[in-house]
């Protein structure tokens, strides 16, 4: 009886310590802007969006399947505009459209090159305008130079 009680206590302690350690590491990434705590987020929607983002990252980085990456990113952008990592979804959508305009990757483009460039400019402009502290901003700015610069917020809201 004492052994099972001791074992149960030990396992409980290990789980609690492991959870606290995971929380510690979460905040140490340093790779992105901290989410605004005043924004209410649905935990289930946040989980679903995180899964879609992981799939989009996989398509974008490993598979070079830019059409698939665009679809996953656009699903996040449309379905969860308050997503804590929306800046990365905008980046993947914009860069995927840009690469499709250049006929790069493992999938053929779905639009004319100029249409893909226009879509890339919209997504990358939104990233630059709405998330100036994002780690993706520097590369987005660089690519926007070749696309004619960022679209200003006033033009996009008309």
The number of beta carbons lying within 10 Å of the beta carbon of residue 46 is 16
Determine the Cα–Cα distance for residues 60 and 70; give it in Å rounded to an integer: 9
pLDDT value for 2: 59
pLDDT value for 33: 57
Determine the Cα–Cα distance for residues 67 and 99; give it in Å rounded to an integer: 10
pLDDT tens sequence across 2-37:
555 444 545 554 555 554 444 444 443 344 556 667
In 27-147, alpha helices (H): 43-57, 66-79, 86-101, 113-130, 137-146
pLDDT for 156 beyond 50: no
| Block residue for tokens 């289930």 | 44
Give the domain ranges of the chain: 43-156
Determine the Cα–Cα distance for residues 3 and 82; give it in Å rounded to an integer: 48
The number of beta carbons lying within 10 Å of the beta carbon of residue 85 is 18
Residue 69's nearest CA partner among 91, 84, 85 is 91
Domain 43-156 CATH assignment equals 1.25.40.10: yes
- Report whether 116 contacts 100 (CB < 8 A): yes
- Give this prediction's pTM: 0.75
pLDDT tens sequence across 28-67:
334 455 666 767 899 999 999 999 999 999 999 999 999 9
């Amino acid at each position: 009886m004492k052994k099972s009680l001791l074992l149960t206590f030990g396992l409980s302690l290990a789980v609690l310590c492991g959870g606290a350690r995971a929380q510690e590491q979460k905040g140490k990434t340093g790779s992105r802007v901290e989410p605004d705590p005043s924004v209410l987020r649905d935990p289930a929607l946040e989980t679903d969006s995180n899964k879609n983002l992981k799939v989009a990252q996989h398509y974008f980085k490993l598979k070079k399947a830019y059409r698939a990456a665009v679809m996953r990113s656009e699903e996040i952008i449309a379905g969860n505009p308050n997503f804590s990592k929306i800046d990365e979804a905008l980046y993947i959508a914009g860069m995927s459209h840009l690469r499709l305009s250049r006929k790069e990757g493992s999938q053929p483009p779905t639009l004319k090159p100029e249409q893909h460039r226009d879509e890339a400019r919209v997504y990358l402009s939104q990233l630059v305008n709405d998330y100036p502290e994002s780690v993706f901003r520097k590369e987005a700015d660089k690519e926007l130079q070749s696309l004619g610069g960022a679209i200003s917020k006033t033009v996009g809201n008309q």
